[in-house]
Amino acid sequence: MNRKIFVLISVLLVAAFMLTACGTAAATEAAVEEPAAAEPAMEEAPAEEVAEPVTITWWHISTKDPPLTDWQNMADAYMAAHPNVTIEITVLENEAFKTKLTTVMQSGEVPDIFQSWGGGTLKEQIDAGLLKDITADLDADGGAWRDTFAPGALAVFASDGKNYGVPWDMGMVGWWYNKDLFEQAGITSTPATWTEFLDDVQKLKDAGITPISLGEGDTWTGMHIWSYLATRIGGEAAFTAAADRSGAFTDPAFVQAGEELKKLIDMDPFQAGYLGATHDEMQATFGNGNAAMELSGQWAPSVEAANSADGVGVANLGMFNFPAVEGGAGALTDVIGGGNGFAVGKDASPEAIDFVKFLTNVQNQTTVAASGTGIPVVKGAEVGLTDPNLLLVQQSFAAADYFQLYYDQVLPSAMGGIINDAVQKLFAGTATAEEVAAEIEAGAQEQIQ
């Protein structure tokens, strides 16, 4: 009898453990199925013909609603207005998209319109002759289309003054802060200079508050502080020179960025165990009100809330631009960020370009903003933004003269890992600013040709 009970409990325990594994697997499958379900809808395109029939192929990666339905509705609306046009949408999951795109690119079969993040990958596609130059379309009618975009965002999809795509959403990294904790520490205004920033860090420490939450276990979180410092100190010129190899990552701007970062690290402003913390844990520490600030992107408000214990997160959330470094070439308004866009394939028809223009008109951009899909890049569409935090981001980035695309998106992809690993040594105190700069430069010499 006793034995039977033990066996029963054993079986139950094993089953319970195995079920935990099953649960996750099932959830993944469901997620994968979603895009497939959307496909039949697009085959019911109107067949009636007026002008010459044109087919536009469009690949996007929004596998979930609201954008999944929004994009389809926009395509349907365009097809209704242009009966000769058929838009074939292919929805792919992010990683699957990248793999499939690489394959079709090698065969030269490029979709007319597809998801892009600009920067280094776009440049490689341009060099391979796979994209269409749409500069003339943007400049037509006295630059009517061009003028609708925030200039910083549009430039991400350009190379040598020629445009090969347009943005549809942009985000940026900035300091998110807990207004209540700032008030507790007696800080009345957000810092505009690096010295003020370090002063505020000290004030927070004196008040017994952890100033900054950081998840350096995921090394990219701390890298952003370093790259922002480099942008503030060296400005556009220093980075461009290092990236096109007329300069180097050992140039004074990058070494000084490391030294300034070291000043911050030496104040011990981060939560306990930050060297091993993940990005989620960093968001949790901030979301639970256990730290006053975090350097994070436009995703911060939703992610810190999701990771907080009560699911609500910081009650009084604010954001300020990364402070300017005294004597630096970069301005307080320059921002680091990145976003999504539509790249235009080499075989795109005039109708396809016209459809891209339609996708990025104020009305459709307002839809993107209103549904919380992204921060619009077309002037006037920000009225759709209901989330005050996203509005903060939008204002900050619309005011930027220089938009620094994320380092790992401008530079060859391997550089991201190299910079992250090098900068992490500053946080752990195992390398000096010079050594970190030298390590990044050594990587750049190998990676950037």
Residue among 18 and 27 whose Cβ is closer to another protein: 18
Residue among 144 and 272 whose Cβ is closer to another protein: 272
Nearest distance from C-beta of residue 92 to another protein, angstroms = 20
Note whether 271 binds another protein by CB under 8 A.
yes
Note whether 428 binds another protein by CB under 8 A.
yes
Q: Which of 9, 31, 77, 312 binds another protein (CB under 8 A)?
A: 9
Q: Which of 272, 312, 315, 383 binds another protein (CB under 8 A)?
A: 272
Q: Which span sits near another protein by CB under 8 A: 112-120, 150-158, 174-182, 268-276?
A: 268-276
- Do strands 158-159 and 335-344 pair parallel, antiparallel, or not at all (unpaired)? unpaired
Residue 163 backbone phi and psi in degrees, to 5: -100, 140
Nearest distance from C-beta of residue 7 to another protein, angstroms = 6
3-state secondary structure (DSSP) of residue 277 = coil
Residue with tokens 């919380």: 372
Nearest distance from C-beta of residue 378 to another protein, angstroms = 34
Tokens of 363: 């009305």
Nearest distance from C-beta of residue 9 to another protein, angstroms = 6
Q: Which of 281, 294, 334, 439 binds another protein (CB under 8 A)?
A: 281
Note whether 278 binds another protein by CB under 8 A.
yes
Residue among 218 and 387 whose Cβ is closer to another protein: 218
Nearest distance from C-beta of residue 211 to another protein, angstroms = 16
The helix, strand and coil proportions of the chain, stated in percent and rounded to the nearest 5, come to 55, 15, 30
DSSP letter at 379 equals T
Note whether 50 binds another protein by CB under 8 A.
no
Among 407, 395, 389, residue whose Cα is nearest residue 443: 407
Interatomic CA distance for residues 347 and 132, integer angstroms: 7
Note whether 284 binds another protein by CB under 8 A.
yes
Check if the beta carbon of residue 194 is closer than 8 Å to that of residue 391. no
Report the interhelical angle of 350-359 vs 67-81 (nearest 10°).
Answer: 130
Q: Which span sits near another protein by CB under 8 A: 50-58, 84-92, 280-288, 339-347?
A: 280-288
Q: Which span sits near another protein by CB under 8 A: 8-16, 137-145, 153-161, 257-265?
A: 8-16
The contact pattern for another protein, residues 210-229, with x = CB under 8 A and - = no contact, is ------xxxx----------
Note whether 289 binds another protein by CB under 8 A.
no
Among 172, 151, 174, residue whose Cα is nearest residue 163: 151
Interatomic CA distance for residues 148 and 154, integer angstroms: 10
Check if the beta carbon of residue 344 is closer than 8 Å to that of residue 327. no
Q: Where are the beta strands (DSSP E) in 71-182?
A: 85-91, 113-116, 158-159, 162-163, 165-178
Note whether 108 binds another protein by CB under 8 A.
no
Cis peptide leading into 53, omega within 30 of 0? no
The contact pattern for another protein, residues 388-427, with x = CB under 8 A and - = no contact, is ------------------------xxx--xx--x--xx-x
Note whether 27 binds another protein by CB under 8 A.
no
| Total of residues contacting another protein (CB under 8 A) | 39
Give CA angle at 154 (153, 157), nearest 5°. Answer: 105
Longest dimension (CA), the chain: 89
Measured CA to CA in angstroms, residue 58 lies from 97, 158, 287 at distances of 12, 20, 38
Q: Which span sits near another protein by CB under 8 A: 143-151, 193-201, 266-274, 374-382?
A: 266-274
Interatomic CA distance for residues 243 and 447, integer angstroms: 10
Nearest distance from C-beta of residue 20 to another protein, angstroms = 6
Q: Which residues pair with 55 in a beta bridge?
A: 86
Give 55-73 as a DSSP string.
Answer: EEEEEE---STTHHHHHHH
Note whether 10 binds another protein by CB under 8 A.
yes
Note whether 449 binds another protein by CB under 8 A.
no
Nearest distance from C-beta of residue 420 to another protein, angstroms = 9
Note whether 26 binds another protein by CB under 8 A.
no
Neighbours of 387 (CB within 10 A): 15
Nearest distance from C-beta of residue 422 to another protein, angstroms = 10
Give the CA-trace dihedral at 131, 137, 143, 148, to 10 degrees. Answer: -70
Q: Which of residues 290-309 bind another protein (CB under 8 A)?
A: 290
Residue among 71 and 270 whose Cβ is closer to another protein: 270
List interacting residues with another protein (CB under 8 A): 2-3, 6-7, 9-10, 13-14, 17-18, 20-21, 216-219, 271-278, 281, 284-285, 290, 412-414, 417-418, 421, 424-425, 427-428, 430
